[in-house]
Structure 1
Amino acid sequence: MKRIGLIGVGEIGRALVEGLCEGIDEAPEVYLSPRGARTAEELAGRFETVRVCADNQAVVDSSEIVLIAVRRDQRYEALAGLRVDGDRTVVNVMAGVRNDELRKTLGGDAPIVRAIPLPTVRERRSVTVTCPAHPLVDALFEELGGVLPVADEAAFDVFSALTGTLTTHYAYLASLTGWAGEQGIAHAEAERYVRSLFQGVGRSLGDEARTLQQLAADHETPGGNNERIRTTWFDAANSAALTTALDGLLSDLG
């Protein structure tokens, strides 16, 4: 495994380090920026191959692959004056920052690859979208659960928009729990059941031999409860509203 540098150690940064190092006999050398000092020091204390560098330039100088995972509005401050030689590979993990924008900030001719790692990289179970394909970067994310290279940033933006639906799913589950509470069910009992119900859905998604439409059909009896909720709640108006929201997000991402 290559030497990995990470500038920005938030939730995704933590997940990347844990995925790269947790339970790995020959974990890679990982160099962290001092940004997010508390998290960086905690990770360095847990994993022998993780080091906290004095500054971001030291991260770059120590690494072969440099992942930039700072917030979009903090990138100019974090990357000001940074020198990245052409023998490094930069992975752009910043949401909403295109590769040509990052090139203007960094300068130089180091390869730049966009990526959408999700928190489940810590479990090495997350398929990460990359753009463009790059052998070192794709191999890195293959180890973290899988990689899906796309040819251009227009396609990348579609996947980025899909990623924006994650917290809506959690809010949906919280709404189901809240409704059960209104019917007199104790919150802890309702939440336990909802979690179990949809953990089962998550496991069924691992069966890639069946399409999503087939999975839905297999869980639904004609005229039954599931069909009733699907057809009365997720109706044409609801579906159109979701499409409108996704279209708007995609337009902003472009």
Structure 2
Amino acid sequence: MKLRHQLDVTRLRKNEIAIFWLGQAGFIIKDYDENIVVIDPYLTDCGERIRGFKRLTPKLLSPGELEPDIYITTHIHFDHFDFDAVPIVSSCPWTKFFGPQTCVDKYLELGIKKERVSLLGCGTEITEKNIMIKAVFADHGRLAPEAIGILLNINGIKLYFSGDTAYRPEMIKDVIDFAPDIAILSVNGKFGNLNSEEGAKLASDIGAKIAIPCHYWMFKEHGGDPQLFEEEMKKHSPQCLTKFMCQGEMFRYSL
């Protein structure tokens, strides 16, 4: 079943969400109210055009098919802010765009009207479509000093997206206090990101019920070992369920 059709036909209960992995750090969430939230979708081959990073995994959805209500980017790197996809996605008139200052600047430069764009600085909390969105600390170093993580509260279901970050347990009080049900963690261990052991420790630190690893296998340059992550989870966070997703798979979660 094609992903767009799957999104259209999926019906959810009030206390339930559906999560789809697009590959890399890209995820789609659908809720009971038919809202579509997308975070860091990489939908094109712009990385090969810009940096020579060849895509090794299939494209599941074209930018024009996406039509989200909420489009969030955690920082300006091409595999999170898809420079070729954003202008096409913006043709959907109801889509609202969110991100840190560098992403906001690029949204506006690409011609998106400012009333459709919202700034997510660290600590900023916004409610859109009855979904709470909060930007939290991430440390992507000099590569992207403005990078953020994301907290979402969707009808009481709480999700944490680490974005690209190093392991900084002393800086995650907001996430610990949030007590996420699901933690989606970039664990490729290169370019300043969490490695498998650090991702497992972070899942334990924040008390997540479920951990979903990501940010691996899209590009040969990025590394990542999901088997090693599972082994580290058994050591450091055995109380947390590790959920491995294939691209395009739907994972239903309910309270």
Fold match (TM-score > 0.5): no
Question: What is the TM-score when the length of structure 1 is the normalising length?
Answer: 0.35
Task: With a CA cutoff of 8 Å and minimum separation of 6, indicate the structure with the bigger relative contact order.
Answer: 2
The structure whose residues are more often helix, as a share, is 1
Radius of gyration: which is bigger? 1
Question: What is the TM-score when the length of structure 2 is the normalising length?
Answer: 0.35
